[in-house]
Amino acid sequence: MPSKQELPILCRPTVALGLEGSANKLGVGIIRHFPRPASKSDARPPAQVLANIRHTYITPPGEGFLPRDTAKHHRSFVVKLVKDALKTSGLTPDDIDCVSFTQGPGMGAPLQSVAIAARTISMMWDKPLVGVNHCIGHIEMGREITGANNPVVLYVSGGNTQVIAYSHQRYRIFGETLDIAVGNCLDRFARTLQIPNDPSPGFNIELLAKKGKHYVELPYTVKGMDVSMSGILAYIDGVANDIFSGNPRYAEDGEIITNEDLCFSLQETIFAMLVEITERAMAHVGSQQVLIVGGVGCNERLQEMMGIMARDRGGAVYATDERFCIDNGIMIAHAGLLAYETGFRTSLKDSVCTQRFRTDEVFIAWRDD
Protein backbone atom coordinates (compact mmCIF):
# COMPACT_ATOMS: atom_id res chain seq x y z
CA MET A 1 0.00 0.00 0.00
CA PRO A 2 1.47 3.42 -0.91
CA SER A 3 2.55 5.69 1.91
CA LYS A 4 0.90 9.01 2.61
CA GLN A 5 3.76 10.89 0.94
CA GLU A 6 3.46 8.80 -2.24
CA LEU A 7 -0.23 9.52 -2.77
CA PRO A 8 -1.14 12.58 -4.89
CA ILE A 9 -2.16 15.50 -2.65
CA LEU A 10 -5.70 15.73 -4.04
CA CYS A 11 -6.32 11.99 -3.44
CA ARG A 12 -5.73 11.98 0.31
CA PRO A 13 -6.41 14.11 3.40
CA THR A 14 -3.88 16.88 4.00
CA VAL A 15 -2.91 18.54 7.28
CA ALA A 16 -1.35 21.94 7.97
CA LEU A 17 0.10 23.63 11.02
CA GLY A 18 -0.59 27.38 11.06
CA LEU A 19 1.15 30.12 13.05
CA GLU A 20 -0.35 33.59 13.49
CA GLY A 21 1.35 36.48 15.25
CA SER A 22 0.74 39.71 13.34
CA ALA A 23 -0.34 41.66 16.43
CA ASN A 24 -0.79 40.89 20.14
CA LYS A 25 -2.38 37.47 19.67
CA LEU A 26 -0.23 34.40 19.12
CA GLY A 27 -2.14 31.54 17.57
CA VAL A 28 -1.29 28.00 16.53
CA GLY A 29 -3.80 25.87 14.65
CA ILE A 30 -3.90 22.48 12.97
CA ILE A 31 -6.46 21.71 10.26
CA ARG A 32 -7.25 18.72 8.04
CA HIS A 33 -8.66 18.94 4.52
CA PHE A 34 -10.31 15.98 2.83
CA PRO A 35 -9.99 15.14 -0.86
CA ARG A 36 -12.20 17.06 -3.26
CA PRO A 37 -14.94 15.08 -5.03
CA ALA A 38 -14.23 14.04 -8.61
CA SER A 39 -17.19 16.11 -9.79
CA LYS A 40 -16.75 19.89 -9.66
CA SER A 41 -20.46 20.21 -8.93
CA ASP A 42 -19.98 18.49 -5.57
CA ALA A 43 -18.78 20.54 -2.61
CA ARG A 44 -15.53 19.71 -0.83
CA PRO A 45 -16.13 18.03 2.54
CA PRO A 46 -15.87 20.47 5.46
CA ALA A 47 -12.41 20.99 6.90
CA GLN A 48 -11.69 19.47 10.30
CA VAL A 49 -10.34 21.78 12.98
CA LEU A 50 -7.94 19.64 15.02
CA ALA A 51 -6.47 22.35 17.28
CA ASN A 52 -6.92 26.09 17.69
CA ILE A 53 -4.71 27.41 20.50
CA ARG A 54 -4.24 31.11 21.28
CA HIS A 55 -2.42 33.28 23.81
CA THR A 56 -2.85 37.05 24.05
CA TYR A 57 -0.34 39.67 25.17
CA ILE A 58 -2.31 41.99 27.47
CA THR A 59 -1.04 45.36 28.67
CA PRO A 60 -2.26 47.51 31.60
CA PRO A 61 -5.26 49.85 31.13
CA GLY A 62 -4.40 52.98 29.18
CA GLU A 63 -1.47 51.35 27.38
CA GLY A 64 -1.12 49.84 23.93
CA PHE A 65 1.20 47.00 22.99
CA LEU A 66 4.66 47.84 21.66
CA PRO A 67 6.14 45.76 18.82
CA ARG A 68 9.26 44.84 20.82
CA ASP A 69 7.34 43.62 23.85
CA THR A 70 4.76 41.80 21.71
CA ALA A 71 7.53 39.99 19.81
CA LYS A 72 9.09 38.94 23.11
CA HIS A 73 5.73 37.52 24.19
CA HIS A 74 5.44 35.52 20.98
CA ARG A 75 8.95 34.12 21.30
CA SER A 76 8.24 33.10 24.89
CA PHE A 77 5.04 31.17 24.13
CA VAL A 78 5.31 29.81 20.59
CA VAL A 79 7.01 26.52 21.51
CA LYS A 80 4.44 25.80 24.22
CA LEU A 81 1.54 26.54 21.88
CA VAL A 82 2.91 24.28 19.15
CA LYS A 83 3.30 21.45 21.66
CA ASP A 84 -0.22 22.09 22.99
CA ALA A 85 -1.63 22.06 19.45
CA LEU A 86 0.01 18.74 18.64
CA LYS A 87 -1.23 17.25 21.90
CA THR A 88 -4.78 18.52 21.31
CA SER A 89 -4.84 17.20 17.76
CA GLY A 90 -3.34 13.85 18.67
CA LEU A 91 -0.90 14.17 15.78
CA THR A 92 2.87 14.05 15.43
CA PRO A 93 5.12 16.10 13.13
CA ASP A 94 5.08 13.17 10.67
CA ASP A 95 1.36 13.80 10.12
CA ILE A 96 1.87 17.43 9.07
CA ASP A 97 2.06 18.23 5.33
CA CYS A 98 3.07 21.90 5.51
CA VAL A 99 3.84 24.72 7.92
CA SER A 100 1.87 27.90 7.26
CA PHE A 101 2.65 31.28 8.78
CA THR A 102 1.41 34.85 8.57
CA GLN A 103 3.71 36.71 6.19
CA GLY A 104 1.89 40.04 6.54
CA PRO A 105 0.41 42.54 6.96
CA GLY A 106 1.00 43.34 10.60
CA MET A 107 3.53 44.61 13.12
CA GLY A 108 7.09 43.98 11.99
CA ALA A 109 8.70 42.54 15.11
CA PRO A 110 5.86 40.14 16.05
CA LEU A 111 5.59 38.96 12.43
CA GLN A 112 9.32 38.29 12.33
CA SER A 113 9.25 36.31 15.57
CA VAL A 114 6.57 33.96 14.26
CA ALA A 115 8.23 33.67 10.84
CA ILE A 116 11.47 32.57 12.49
CA ALA A 117 9.54 29.96 14.47
CA ALA A 118 7.85 28.72 11.27
CA ARG A 119 11.16 28.48 9.41
CA THR A 120 12.71 26.58 12.30
CA ILE A 121 9.82 24.10 12.48
CA SER A 122 9.89 23.69 8.70
CA MET A 123 13.58 22.74 8.76
CA MET A 124 13.32 20.57 11.89
CA TRP A 125 10.37 18.60 10.55
CA ASP A 126 11.45 18.75 6.89
CA LYS A 127 8.11 20.25 5.84
CA PRO A 128 7.46 22.91 3.17
CA LEU A 129 6.70 26.49 4.18
CA VAL A 130 3.63 28.38 3.01
CA GLY A 131 3.42 32.13 3.61
CA VAL A 132 -0.12 33.43 4.09
CA ASN A 133 -1.69 36.86 3.74
CA HIS A 134 -3.41 37.63 7.04
CA CYS A 135 -6.56 39.00 5.42
CA ILE A 136 -6.90 36.03 3.07
CA GLY A 137 -6.75 33.81 6.15
CA HIS A 138 -9.68 35.67 7.71
CA ILE A 139 -11.74 35.52 4.51
CA GLU A 140 -11.19 31.86 3.74
CA MET A 141 -11.81 30.77 7.34
CA GLY A 142 -14.98 32.84 7.40
CA ARG A 143 -16.20 31.23 4.18
CA GLU A 144 -15.34 27.75 5.49
CA ILE A 145 -17.12 28.16 8.83
CA THR A 146 -20.22 30.05 7.67
CA GLY A 147 -20.74 28.47 4.26
CA ALA A 148 -20.99 31.89 2.59
CA ASN A 149 -20.57 31.29 -1.13
CA ASN A 150 -19.51 34.53 -2.81
CA PRO A 151 -20.13 37.33 -0.32
CA VAL A 152 -19.09 40.92 -0.07
CA VAL A 153 -16.55 40.82 2.76
CA LEU A 154 -16.23 43.44 5.47
CA TYR A 155 -12.80 42.96 7.02
CA VAL A 156 -12.57 44.91 10.27
CA SER A 157 -9.73 44.55 12.77
CA GLY A 158 -7.19 46.50 14.75
CA GLY A 159 -5.01 47.12 11.73
CA ASN A 160 -7.33 46.79 8.74
CA THR A 161 -10.66 48.07 7.48
CA GLN A 162 -11.60 46.94 3.97
CA VAL A 163 -14.68 46.13 1.89
CA ILE A 164 -13.77 43.27 -0.44
CA ALA A 165 -15.33 41.17 -3.17
CA TYR A 166 -13.94 38.27 -5.19
CA SER A 167 -13.42 38.55 -8.94
CA HIS A 168 -11.18 36.66 -11.37
CA GLN A 169 -9.04 34.91 -8.76
CA ARG A 170 -8.37 38.02 -6.68
CA TYR A 171 -10.05 39.50 -3.64
CA ARG A 172 -10.64 43.04 -4.88
CA ILE A 173 -10.72 45.98 -2.47
CA PHE A 174 -13.74 48.20 -3.10
CA GLY A 175 -13.25 50.53 -0.14
CA GLU A 176 -11.04 50.95 2.90
CA THR A 177 -9.95 53.30 5.63
CA LEU A 178 -7.93 56.31 4.59
CA ASP A 179 -6.11 56.53 7.93
CA ILE A 180 -6.64 54.35 11.00
CA ALA A 181 -8.54 51.07 11.16
CA VAL A 182 -11.82 50.70 13.03
CA GLY A 183 -10.25 48.45 15.65
CA ASN A 184 -7.43 50.91 16.20
CA CYS A 185 -9.97 53.71 16.63
CA LEU A 186 -11.83 51.73 19.30
CA ASP A 187 -8.63 50.60 21.04
CA ARG A 188 -7.24 54.13 21.22
CA PHE A 189 -10.48 55.51 22.64
CA ALA A 190 -10.40 52.71 25.21
CA ARG A 191 -6.97 54.00 26.28
CA THR A 192 -8.42 57.50 26.60
CA LEU A 193 -11.08 56.17 28.96
CA GLN A 194 -8.56 53.92 30.79
CA ILE A 195 -10.68 50.88 29.91
CA PRO A 196 -9.01 47.52 30.68
CA ASN A 197 -7.35 45.61 27.85
CA ASP A 198 -8.51 42.25 29.23
CA PRO A 199 -9.94 40.39 27.36
CA SER A 200 -9.75 43.16 24.75
CA PRO A 201 -10.41 46.92 24.74
CA GLY A 202 -12.91 46.66 21.87
CA PHE A 203 -14.98 44.08 23.72
CA ASN A 204 -15.04 46.23 26.85
CA ILE A 205 -16.16 49.24 24.79
CA GLU A 206 -18.96 47.08 23.40
CA LEU A 207 -20.12 46.22 26.93
CA LEU A 208 -20.15 49.89 27.94
CA ALA A 209 -21.93 50.89 24.73
CA LYS A 210 -24.81 48.54 25.59
CA LYS A 211 -25.44 50.73 28.65
CA GLY A 212 -25.37 54.01 26.72
CA LYS A 213 -28.64 55.98 26.48
CA HIS A 214 -27.71 59.23 24.74
CA TYR A 215 -26.27 59.69 21.26
CA VAL A 216 -23.57 62.33 20.96
CA GLU A 217 -23.33 63.62 17.39
CA LEU A 218 -19.89 62.92 15.92
CA PRO A 219 -18.29 63.63 12.54
CA TYR A 220 -19.47 61.19 9.87
CA THR A 221 -16.69 60.75 7.33
CA VAL A 222 -17.48 58.65 4.27
CA LYS A 223 -15.61 59.60 1.11
CA GLY A 224 -16.97 57.61 -1.80
CA MET A 225 -16.22 54.01 -0.91
CA ASP A 226 -13.65 54.91 1.73
CA VAL A 227 -13.91 55.99 5.36
CA SER A 228 -11.81 58.13 7.67
CA MET A 229 -11.77 57.68 11.43
CA SER A 230 -8.88 59.75 12.76
CA GLY A 231 -11.00 62.92 12.91
CA ILE A 232 -13.81 61.11 14.69
CA LEU A 233 -11.34 59.82 17.26
CA ALA A 234 -9.84 63.27 17.79
CA TYR A 235 -13.30 64.77 18.27
CA ILE A 236 -14.57 62.20 20.77
CA ASP A 237 -11.23 62.29 22.62
CA GLY A 238 -11.82 66.03 23.03
CA VAL A 239 -15.30 65.45 24.43
CA ALA A 240 -13.95 62.85 26.88
CA ASN A 241 -11.11 65.13 27.99
CA ASP A 242 -13.60 67.94 28.62
CA ILE A 243 -15.62 65.63 30.86
CA PHE A 244 -12.46 64.50 32.70
CA SER A 245 -11.52 68.17 33.23
CA GLY A 246 -14.76 68.90 35.03
CA ASN A 247 -16.63 70.39 32.06
CA PRO A 248 -19.51 67.96 31.60
CA ARG A 249 -21.54 67.68 28.41
CA TYR A 250 -25.30 67.42 28.63
CA ALA A 251 -27.84 65.48 26.58
CA GLU A 252 -31.06 67.05 25.32
CA ASP A 253 -32.95 65.72 28.33
CA GLY A 254 -30.50 67.47 30.66
CA GLU A 255 -28.68 64.35 31.80
CA ILE A 256 -24.87 64.34 31.90
CA ILE A 257 -23.14 62.51 29.06
CA THR A 258 -21.36 59.43 30.43
CA ASN A 259 -18.53 57.20 29.23
CA GLU A 260 -21.18 54.67 28.28
CA ASP A 261 -22.88 57.28 26.09
CA LEU A 262 -19.59 58.07 24.36
CA CYS A 263 -18.89 54.40 23.64
CA PHE A 264 -22.41 53.98 22.31
CA SER A 265 -22.08 57.05 20.08
CA LEU A 266 -18.71 56.03 18.71
CA GLN A 267 -19.94 52.56 17.79
CA GLU A 268 -23.15 53.83 16.19
CA THR A 269 -21.29 56.34 14.05
CA ILE A 270 -18.44 54.26 12.71
CA PHE A 271 -20.59 51.15 12.25
CA ALA A 272 -23.12 53.18 10.24
CA MET A 273 -20.25 54.29 7.99
CA LEU A 274 -19.19 50.68 7.47
CA VAL A 275 -22.75 49.58 6.70
CA GLU A 276 -23.05 52.35 4.09
CA ILE A 277 -19.97 51.42 2.09
CA THR A 278 -20.73 47.69 2.38
CA GLU A 279 -24.22 48.24 0.96
CA ARG A 280 -22.74 50.12 -1.99
CA ALA A 281 -20.39 47.23 -2.71
CA MET A 282 -23.32 44.76 -2.54
CA ALA A 283 -25.24 46.83 -5.06
CA HIS A 284 -22.23 47.05 -7.37
CA VAL A 285 -21.46 43.33 -7.50
CA GLY A 286 -25.04 42.13 -7.13
CA SER A 287 -24.36 40.06 -4.01
CA GLN A 288 -26.95 39.19 -1.38
CA GLN A 289 -24.40 38.03 1.19
CA VAL A 290 -22.18 39.93 3.63
CA LEU A 291 -19.39 38.14 5.45
CA ILE A 292 -17.91 40.00 8.42
CA VAL A 293 -14.39 38.92 9.39
CA GLY A 294 -11.67 40.24 11.68
CA GLY A 295 -11.63 40.87 15.40
CA VAL A 296 -14.20 43.70 15.30
CA GLY A 297 -16.50 41.31 13.46
CA CYS A 298 -17.36 39.75 16.84
CA ASN A 299 -19.20 42.94 17.81
CA GLU A 300 -22.88 42.09 18.16
CA ARG A 301 -24.05 45.63 17.38
CA LEU A 302 -22.09 45.69 14.12
CA GLN A 303 -23.64 42.35 13.16
CA GLU A 304 -27.09 43.66 14.09
CA MET A 305 -26.77 46.85 12.03
CA MET A 306 -25.35 44.97 9.05
CA GLY A 307 -28.16 42.42 9.36
CA ILE A 308 -30.85 45.12 9.18
CA MET A 309 -29.32 46.47 5.97
CA ALA A 310 -28.84 43.03 4.40
CA ARG A 311 -32.39 41.90 5.19
CA ASP A 312 -33.79 45.10 3.63
CA ARG A 313 -31.98 44.02 0.46
CA GLY A 314 -33.27 40.45 0.71
CA GLY A 315 -29.85 39.21 1.82
CA ALA A 316 -28.12 37.80 4.88
CA VAL A 317 -25.11 38.37 7.11
CA TYR A 318 -22.54 35.71 7.88
CA ALA A 319 -20.19 35.95 10.85
CA THR A 320 -18.20 33.68 13.15
CA ASP A 321 -17.70 33.63 16.89
CA GLU A 322 -14.55 34.70 18.73
CA ARG A 323 -12.77 31.39 18.03
CA PHE A 324 -12.44 32.33 14.38
CA CYS A 325 -13.01 36.09 14.00
CA ILE A 326 -10.25 37.08 16.44
CA ASP A 327 -6.74 36.45 15.07
CA ASN A 328 -6.00 32.74 15.25
CA GLY A 329 -3.67 30.10 13.90
CA ILE A 330 -6.37 27.91 12.37
CA MET A 331 -7.21 30.49 9.70
CA ILE A 332 -3.54 30.60 8.67
CA ALA A 333 -3.41 26.81 8.57
CA HIS A 334 -6.57 26.72 6.43
CA ALA A 335 -5.51 29.37 3.90
CA GLY A 336 -2.01 27.90 3.76
CA LEU A 337 -3.37 24.44 3.07
CA LEU A 338 -5.61 25.76 0.28
CA ALA A 339 -2.54 27.26 -1.37
CA TYR A 340 -0.40 24.18 -0.67
CA GLU A 341 -2.93 21.95 -2.44
CA THR A 342 -2.48 24.03 -5.61
CA GLY A 343 1.29 23.47 -5.52
CA PHE A 344 2.24 26.76 -3.87
CA ARG A 345 5.36 26.79 -1.65
CA THR A 346 7.37 29.58 0.01
CA SER A 347 11.13 29.20 -0.16
CA LEU A 348 13.31 30.27 2.75
CA LYS A 349 14.68 33.25 0.82
CA ASP A 350 11.12 34.38 0.02
CA SER A 351 9.80 33.89 3.56
CA VAL A 352 10.57 37.43 4.71
CA CYS A 353 7.67 39.29 6.30
CA THR A 354 6.15 42.49 5.03
CA GLN A 355 4.09 44.92 7.10
CA ARG A 356 2.28 46.04 3.95
CA PHE A 357 0.85 43.02 2.16
CA ARG A 358 -2.23 44.03 0.21
CA THR A 359 -5.21 41.69 0.05
CA ASP A 360 -5.46 42.02 -3.73
CA GLU A 361 -1.81 41.03 -4.26
CA VAL A 362 -2.62 37.36 -3.66
CA PHE A 363 -3.53 35.12 -6.59
CA ILE A 364 -6.39 32.89 -5.44
CA ALA A 365 -5.45 29.74 -7.33
CA TRP A 366 -7.85 27.50 -5.39
CA ARG A 367 -10.91 29.36 -6.72
CA ASP A 368 -11.88 29.35 -10.36
CA ASP A 369 -15.49 30.51 -10.06
pLDDT score of 2:
44
191, exposed or middle or buried, with CB in 10 Å at 0-12, 13-18, 19+?
middle
CATH of 149-323, one of 3.40.830.10, 3.30.420.40, 3.40.50.360, 3.40.50.300: 3.30.420.40
Q: What is the pLDDT of residues 23-51, one digit of tens each?
A: 999 999 999 999 987 666 677 899 999 99
CA distances from 179 to 228, 232, 343 (A): 6, 11, 36
Domain with CATH 3.30.420.40 in the chain: 2-142+325-361, 149-323
Residues 101 and 65 sit within 8 Å (Cβ to Cβ): no
Q: Could you say which residues of the chain have pLDDT below 70? A: 1-10, 38-41
Closest listed residue to residue 114, CA positions, set 39, 56, 28: 28
pLDDT score of 364:
98
pLDDT score of 40:
62
Q: What is the chain's length?
A: 369
pLDDT score of 170:
97
pLDDT score of 39:
65
| DSSP element (H, E) containing 123 | helix 108-125
CATH of 2-142+325-361, one of 3.50.50.60, 3.40.50.2000, 3.40.50.11810, 3.30.420.40: 3.30.420.40
Q: What is the pLDDT of residues 60-106, one digit of tens each?
A: 998 999 999 999 999 999 999 999 999 999 999 999 999 999 999 99
pLDDT score of 369:
78
AA identity, residue 300? E
